């Protein structure tokens, strides 16, 4: 019996209507070790979807977050939704409090509405 190959869910990063890749720009602004940690976590979601805690948590209304503990001791989150069997990364930020900031959730919801009816 042949082993099943992992199903890779494509990942796309949000672009503004003018073409700016704001989430990728945020990632590029982080240290290399932090980018690497976030990238590994995103890849785990990509190859193992659906994934639950502690790596991924549902935020409601179609939004999910990838939860990354960074080597620097900081905590990062990337908010995404599924759009046509594609992971659409809508927002990324460094957590500064226990709760996910409402402005980040509102931003992700606005961006999601551009792609989903």
**Contacting residues for 90 by C-beta, under 8 A, at least 6 apart:** 14, 23, 63, 79, 80, 81, 107, 108, 111, 112
Q: Which CATH superfamily is domain 11-113 in?
A: RelE-like (3.30.2310.20)
pLDDT digits (tens, 9 = 90+) for 22-72: 999 999 999 999 999 999 999 999 999 999 999 999 999 999 999 999 999
Mean of all residue pLDDT scores within the chain = 92
pLDDT digits (tens, 9 = 90+) for 84-112: 899 999 999 999 988 889 999 999 999 99
Flag whether pLDDT at 2 surpasses 70.
Answer: no
Domain coordinates in residue numbering, the chain:
11-113
pLDDT (mean) for 1-19: 81
Flag whether pLDDT at 5 surpasses 70.
Answer: no
Among 81, 91, 104, 87, which residue's Cα sits nearest to residue 23? 91
């Amino acid at each position: 019996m042949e082993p099943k190959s992992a199903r890779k869910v494509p990942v796309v990063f949000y672009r503004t209507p003018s073409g700016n890749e704001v989430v990728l720009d945020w990632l590029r602004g982080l240290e290399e070790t932090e980018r690497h940690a976030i990238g590994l976590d995103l890849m785990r979601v990509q190859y193992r979807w659906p994934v639950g805690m502690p790596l991924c948590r549902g935020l409601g209304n179609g939004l999910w977050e990838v939860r990354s503990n960074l080597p620097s001791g900081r905590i990062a989150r990337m908010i995404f939704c599924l759009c046509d069997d594609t992971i659409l990364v809508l927002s990324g930020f460094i957590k500064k409090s226990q709760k996910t900031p409402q402005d980040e959730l509102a931003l992700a919801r606005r961006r999601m509405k551009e792609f989903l009816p």
